[in-house]
A and B are shown apart, each in its own frame.
Chain A
Amino acid sequence: MNPQTLMDGLIAGSMIGLGAVGITLTYSILRFANFAHGDMISWGAYFALAIAGALGAAFSGLLTPIGPFSFGWALPIAALAATVLNGGLALLVDALLFKRLRARNSTVIIMVMASFGAALTLRSLLEFIFTSKPAYYTNALQIALPLGGGIRATPDQMLSLAVSVVIVIAVHLLLSRTAIGRSMRAVSENVQLSGLVGIRVRRVIRIVWVLGAVLAAIAGVFAGVLVQIRPEMGLDLLLPLFAAAILGGIGSVPGAMFGGLIIGVSEALAVGVVGAQWRAAVSFVILIVVLLVRPQGLFGRAE
């Protein structure tokens, strides 16, 4: 295997992994496959685009690229704002739609159908506001720098990889060492018992929505930086995200990142063999194999 292929795969995979972490959290704690997660990623990217654009227009100095990266300070500031807005968006969608369905004890299938509807609405809204023309945070070109061993990567790519790893570690620590993390794990296992021990389940649910949305926003910004911004970007990621989360084992944060990396590398390898147009098939194949052979994934708990 060509080391560069591996590197490309890891970079793409870290983005998928970041999104998959959000999916695995919402899936295990909210207990349904949220088909709207992909579009949360898109919204995060577009929030950042709009804010970065506004900041750049007001203070052109913020557009000057920072160091070796392709973007100026406008983007990190916008990304931060985007995570907040995305969290708000998730809470809004929950309050309008999912919370009410939960209150009526809706089954999993209704929740998934609703998420499908929400996904379509969110995506089309983006397309309406921004049109489907691809957008970019910056026009600055990046040169891939040699890292040794025949591998090259752009500074943007290395940043994305590094940030993804840091975030996954942070989320893992959150889950394992903090009170809110304990509450999340408890709710993920048994909602009724959680209430009995005094956990405020409503609050945990809101926090999970926000955390998922924050992770989605970050994934969206990086996808926008490394590739491009389109209303469909989230939808295109949805199957790889689900495949990664299921491969890693629903509920396992390290598993989701690991799954994402595996998918990223597999896609990179496959593209070399069958061509780039078949990239999306890789996730599908991996998903089916996992569901047939070991549905609990690598690190998930067998039910």
Chain B
Amino acid sequence: MTSAIVLATSGLVAGYERDLPIVRGIDFSLHAGELVVILGPNGAGKSTFVKAIAGLVPVHAGTTMLGEIDVTALPADEKIRHGLAFVPQTENVFATLSIKDNLLVAADILPKDLRNRRIAEIYAMFPDLADRTSRRAGQLSGGQRQMLAIARALIVEPSVLILDEPSAGLSPKIVAEVFARLRSINRAGVSIILVEQNVKAALAVADRAVILVEGRLRHEGTAAGLTEDPIIAELYLGARPNRALTP
């Protein structure tokens, strides 16, 4: 793709302990308007990688660039202000706050005149949430919670949206809804990085996929290409050749 790079990591080394890096030097880039999915076996460091980008895991070496800006050392509350939004896998909404307050808390960093407009726009995008604004987030179903988490991330109109296994714990029907939603968000111009275990659903919406193994980027390709490659599928994605990843 020749479009601009909105996010790039260069030689990123990260991990919870200094002497035990889980991410072992990754060069990765996200182009404007892309939806890239990060795949790989368990323990490969996919979650840790995106958490390091988001500022939740210490970075030992390397850089993360958001456009022209070096955001490597910025804390999470700064990164969101630069347009980098992260939706963690668990505990991604405030269960004790209402839907409305969950969205307000995110909107509070916007200038006042923008706040109400964005909230209204988000409610329009997510009518399910608009129907029950005073319900506590903890009382929502798994799928609704995921939608709320995504809605919350979109409030600030991020240029990059990162999600860590959004399909985890959701039924196939809900997964389809979530992924359809992500595709439409992507089509509207938000560049997205997805970490996923649900390879089939992810490759169906992605432009490109990268495969992480043991903290390093092992393989890259278009989603379509990877879908058709049975050897890659078996090696990295845990699928047997005759159970092809037909979307």
Contacts of A182 in B (CB 8 A): 97, 101, 104-105, 108
Contacts of A192 in B (CB 8 A): 56, 76, 88, 91
CA A286 – CA B241 in complex, angstroms? Answer: 66
Give the residue name and chain of the A residue nearest to B110 (CB): A198
Contacts of B77 in A (CB 8 A): 194-196, 198-201
Check A196 against B76 for contact (C-beta < 8 Å): yes
Contacts of B239 in A (CB 8 A): none
User: Is residue B201 contacting chain A, with contact meaning CB distance below 8 A?
Assistant: no
CA A301 – CA B97 in complex, angstroms? Answer: 12
Query: How many of chain A's residues have a CB under 8 angstroms from any CB in B?
Result: 18
Contacts of A195 in B (CB 8 A): 55, 75-77
User: What 0/1 readout, one digit per residue, does chain A (252-272) give for beta carbons within 8 Å of chain B?
Assistant: 000000000000000000000
User: Is residue B117 contacting chain A, with contact meaning CB distance below 8 A?
Assistant: no
Give the residue name and chain of the B residue nearest to A192 (CB): B56
User: Is residue A152 contacting chain B, with contact meaning CB distance below 8 A?
Assistant: no
Check B94 against A193 for contact (C-beta < 8 Å): yes
User: What 0/1 readout, one digit per residue, does chain B (222-242) give for beta carbons within 8 Å of chain A?
Assistant: 000000000000000000000
Contact count A vs B, C-beta below 8 Å: 64
User: Is residue B199 contacting chain A, with contact meaning CB distance below 8 A?
Assistant: no
The 8 Å CB contact of B91, one of A190, A198, A199, is A190
Check B156 against A198 for contact (C-beta < 8 Å): yes
Check A190 against B56 for contact (C-beta < 8 Å): no
Check B92 against A198 for contact (C-beta < 8 Å): no
Q: A71 to chain B: closest CB distance in Å?
A: 40
User: Is residue B96 contacting chain A, with contact meaning CB distance below 8 A?
Assistant: yes
User: Is residue B46 contacting chain A, with contact meaning CB distance below 8 A?
Assistant: no
User: What 0/1 readout, one digit per residue, does chain B (100-128) give for beta carbons within 8 Å of chain A?
Assistant: 01001110110000000000000000000
CA A194 – CA B109 in complex, angstroms? Answer: 12
Check A186 against B97 for contact (C-beta < 8 Å): yes
The 8 Å CB contact of B88, one of A183, A193, A198, A301, is A193
Q: B98 to chain A: closest CB distance in Å?
A: 10
User: Is residue A127 contacting chain B, with contact meaning CB distance below 8 A?
Assistant: no
Check B92 against A193 for contact (C-beta < 8 Å): yes
Check A185 against B101 for contact (C-beta < 8 Å): yes
Q: A173 to chain B: closest CB distance in Å?
A: 14
The 8 Å CB contact of A193, one of B91, B104, B109, is B91
CA A189 – CA B136 in complex, angstroms? Answer: 13
How extensive is the interface on chain B, given as a class? 20 to 34
Check A198 against B80 for contact (C-beta < 8 Å): yes
Which residues of chain A from 193 to 216 have any CB-CB distance to chain B below 8 Å in the complex?
Answer: 193-201
Check A198 against B106 for contact (C-beta < 8 Å): yes
Contacts of A183 in B (CB 8 A): 105, 108
CA A201 – CA B75 in complex, angstroms? Answer: 11
Contacts of A200 in B (CB 8 A): 77
CA A192 – CA B54 in complex, angstroms? Answer: 11
CA A123 – CA B194 in complex, angstroms? Answer: 55
Check B94 against A189 for contact (C-beta < 8 Å): yes
User: Is residue B95 contacting chain A, with contact meaning CB distance below 8 A?
Assistant: yes
Also in contact, A197 and B96, with CB within 8 A (given A190-B91, A192-B56)? no
Contacts of A196 in B (CB 8 A): 54, 56, 76-77, 80, 85-86, 88
Q: A208 to chain B: closest CB distance in Å?
A: 16
Which residues of chain A from 246 to 303 have any CB-CB distance to chain B below 8 Å in the complex?
Answer: 301
User: Is residue A96 contacting chain B, with contact meaning CB distance below 8 A?
Assistant: no
User: Is residue B152 contacting chain A, with contact meaning CB distance below 8 A?
Assistant: yes
Which residues of chain B from 63 to 102 have any CB-CB distance to chain A below 8 Å in the complex?
Answer: 75-77, 80-81, 85-86, 88, 91-97, 101
Contacts of B80 in A (CB 8 A): 196-198
CA A185 – CA B54 in complex, angstroms? Answer: 22
CA A195 – CA B88 in complex, angstroms? Answer: 12
Q: B82 to chain A: closest CB distance in Å?
A: 10
User: Is residue A179 contacting chain B, with contact meaning CB distance below 8 A?
Assistant: yes
Also in contact, A197 and B97, with CB within 8 A (given A179-B104, A179-B108, A183-B108)? no
Check B94 against A198 for contact (C-beta < 8 Å): no
CA A190 – CA B75 in complex, angstroms? Answer: 16
CA A131 – CA B105 in complex, angstroms? Answer: 47
Give the residue name and chain of the A residue nearest to B96 (CB): A189
CA A185 – CA B96 in complex, angstroms? Answer: 8
CA A133 – CA B93 in complex, angstroms? Answer: 53
CA A88 – CA B108 in complex, angstroms? Answer: 27
Check B104 against A198 for contact (C-beta < 8 Å): no
User: What 0/1 readout, one digit per residue, does chain B (166-207) give for beta carbons within 8 Å of chain A?
Assistant: 000000000000000000000000000000000000000000
- Chain A contact residues, CB within 8 Å of chain B: 179, 182-183, 185-186, 189-190, 192-201, 301
Instruction: Beyond the given A186-B94, A190-B91, A197-B80, please list 10 additional residue pairs across the A-B interface where CB-CB is below 8 A.
Output: A182-B104, A183-B108, A185-B96, A185-B97, A192-B76, A194-B105, A196-B56, A197-B109, A198-B109, A201-B77
